Structure 1
Amino acid sequence: MAHDHHHDHHGSAPAHGHGHAHGSGHDHSDMDWAEMAPLLEAQAELYTPLYRQALDWLAREAPDPGLVVDVGSGPGVVSCLFADTFPGARVVAADGAGPLLERAADRAARLGVADRFGTLTGGLPDALGELEYPADLMWASQSLHHLGDQRAALAALGGHLAPGGTLAILEGGLPARFLPRDIGFGRPGLQARIHAVEEDFFAEMRASLPGSVPETEDWPALLTAAGLKHTGPRSFLLDLPAPVSDAARAYAVSSLTRLRERVGEGLDAGDRDTLDRLLDPADAGSVHRRPDVFVLVAHTVYTAVRPA
């Protein structure tokens, strides 16, 4: 799904269209998901090499699932990758935003998998009670951190798994980097300072959620506490070196623009000025024009199995 994605760690861009629990207790009424959908799709498509690595790994961890549920699917880019990875599976894209699920269904139709693709609209994880039967594989990408009680949410997700079924959660990793430490103007280390501010904003977001429960982010321990058998984490890398494609450059621009809007006031005046220069298309040193822009990010996936 797709909120202001605590995406490449904590909020650098809208989600890849994949990961937040719409209707899960915080207000998304101000989000125009139909308007955001193209951006979410573009990000997910850019991240497809990373997702394919993760899904190939899951295909070895959980071969031949009958039902795959994408919890927080957004516009369905990754849901459709699941349909491609598991040609014998039925895939259900679950999200709280109807306009995004319409995009998911349209994508499934274009790719020729509509006959085994369904959508489920509603707040998560409660909406999963509408599933016709338990899932053999459940994927939750950067959605749990938008639920106040993450421990309870994991238990709820596990309760919708078939015996022997696998839950895969994508949480954490390393935030996206787009620029060298020293970009030739401003104080070196700008992105590191932006990420530090993001951490503070993320902590405030977590604390403000209804029913928020402070929790050590030890995902293996939380999965075990949910009654599941933790089977292992693995991290996956997206490495798009300079010179980047137009799509990768657009992603860097949109990510830094969103960061300027969301956390810019947490930076000092010098860093704000540097960031504004990076976002000025007329400046030769901007992200729009400079030749050294890259995209480097890591995501971590944790898996656990419901005991048979």
Structure 2
Amino acid sequence: MSPHSDTAPAGEHGNHRHGHGHGNGGQAQGHGHGHGHGHGHGHGHDTEIDWEAMSDHLVAAGELEMPVLRDVAARLHGLLDSAGHEVRRVLDVGSGPGVMTCVFAEEFGTADAVAVDGSQPLLDRALTRAAGLGLAGRVGTLAAELPAGLDDGLGTADLVWSSKAVHHLGDQQGALDALARVLRPGGALAVAEGGLPMRYLPRDIGIGAPGLLARLDGVQEEWFAAMRADLPGSTPVVEDWPAMLRAAGLTGVTSFTCLLDLPAPLSAAGRAYLLAHLTRVREKVGGDLLAQADLDTLDVLVDPDSPEGILRRPDAFLLAGTTVHVGVRPH
């Protein structure tokens, strides 16, 4: 699978496609625990993700989340600087269209930043983005199917980053173990997993029953559990990410959370992002997971002509928390 970095606000998981491993070029996605991009929530039986079709959404999410992405990169730079470790090569594993790869190239001005993904169209988008930002000589790509590609061909790196990609792999601990082996002594592995669910509407929106987003969280959890169960080599694990990094042999494990806070009134770009998110939710969710009244409410929210739709509501906002867990390979 090619889990791309879910580059979207922390609160949605992506739909899964076996054989890759994209995550979030940014982060605001996740499932109910707090990724925020806009992968569709869906039936327990429909857990496939068309990552290429989602590429525009992943880029849009990354642009919205840019302040958070830059904050994350700066914090990781500070952590490695304080340890006296020079960063010469950064791997963005499950990079998707390379939004975060380019952020790392900008932050680490003398390092090579490499987008690693199983989708060649997304890697091509990463190179196009890099060229547009004047980073063509500093951003590279590496085609690798995950998890198989973790054990060979990645080379070594001073910083390995993976956002919302590991949870798309059957053996999450095994994936972290493999990523840790890529690190040079003193290098850091940083994974964006968990966090806070994306919030974008008040509890009571004046249509349907109050608490719609909480009910969608429940649907997302069901979808996520089904997705995990369907993964090749799916292995149950307590998702204590700091403990998992320590189990991978890393030290100095720490975590931090960055907040994406875009208050109402939301920009046109923010509304377009939410419309795409809700449209995918509505397409995936049926009456077996959500009451008809809630489906009717979703129909109103995705109607571009409705004054109560997400494109026209004055109360739409975007709030999400991205949590990053970091561990260092000992010398």
Residues 183 and 268 (structure 1), Cα distance of their counterparts in 2 relative to 1, 3 Å cut: same
- Structure 1 segment 78-227 matched on structure 2, within 5 A: 78-128=100-150, 129-131=152-154, 133-227=155-249
Residues 85 and 239 (structure 1), Cα distance of their counterparts in 2 relative to 1, 3 Å cut: same
Is 1:45 aligned with 2:46? no
Q: What TM-score results when the alignment is normalised by the length of structure 2?
A: 0.85
Q: Contact 2:6–2:96 at 8 Å: present in 1 too?
A: no
Q: Post-superposition shift, 1:9?
A: 3.3
Residues 157 and 112 (structure 1), Cα distance of their counterparts in 2 relative to 1, 3 Å cut: same
Q: What TM-score results when the alignment is normalised by the length of structure 1?
A: 0.91
Greater RCO, 1 or 2 (C-alpha within 8 Å, sep 6+): 2
- Structure 1 segment 68-79 matched on structure 2, within 5 A: 68-79=90-101
**Structure 1 alignment gaps of length 5 or more:** 21-26
Is 1:240 aligned with 2:262? yes
Query: CA offsets per residue over residues 222-255 of structure 1, 9 Å max, x none?
Result: 1111111142100110000011111001111111
One-letter amino acid of the counterpart of residue 127, structure 2: A
Residues 116 and 6 (structure 1), Cα distance of their counterparts in 2 relative to 1, 3 Å cut: closer
Q: Post-superposition shift, 1:122?
A: 1.7
Q: Post-superposition shift, 1:125?
A: 4.1
**Alignment match, 1:267:** 290
Residues 71 and 247 (structure 1), Cα distance of their counterparts in 2 relative to 1, 3 Å cut: same
**Structure 2 alignment gaps of length 5 or more:** 17-22, 30-45
Residues 196 and 236 (structure 1), Cα distance of their counterparts in 2 relative to 1, 3 Å cut: same
Q: Contact 1:69–1:135 at 8 Å: present in 2 too?
A: yes
Relative to its length, the structure with more helix (as a share) is 1
Q: Contact 1:17–1:37 at 8 Å: present in 2 too?
A: no
Is 1:11 aligned with 2:13? yes
| Greater mean alpha carbon deviation, residues 59-68 or residues 144-153 | 59-68
Residues 218 and 29 (structure 1), Cα distance of their counterparts in 2 relative to 1, 3 Å cut: closer
One-letter amino acid of the counterpart of residue 57, structure 2: L
Q: Contact 1:231–1:304 at 8 Å: present in 2 too?
A: yes
Distance 1:184 1:13 in 2: 30
Distance 1:55 1:244 in 2: 25
Residues 190 and 13 (structure 1), Cα distance of their counterparts in 2 relative to 1, 3 Å cut: farther
Distance 1:221 1:32 in 2: 30
Q: Contact 1:70–1:91 at 8 Å: present in 2 too?
A: yes
Aligned residues: 300
Q: Contact 1:169–1:303 at 8 Å: present in 2 too?
A: yes
Distance 1:42 1:10 in 2: 15
Q: Give the alignment partner of residue 310 of structure 2, picking from 281, 287, 302.
A: 287
Q: Post-superposition shift, 1:291?
A: 0.8
Q: Post-superposition shift, 1:273?
A: 0.9
Distance 1:76 1:100 in 2: 8
Q: Contact 1:69–1:94 at 8 Å: present in 2 too?
A: yes
Aligned-residue RMSD, C-alpha: 2.4
Is 1:31 aligned with 2:31? no
Residues 12 and 71 (structure 1), Cα distance of their counterparts in 2 relative to 1, 3 Å cut: closer
Distance 2:203 2:141 in 1: 43
Q: Post-superposition shift, 1:126?
A: 3.5
**Alignment match, 2:88:** 66
Distance 2:221 2:71 in 1: 27
Q: Post-superposition shift, 1:38?
A: 2.1
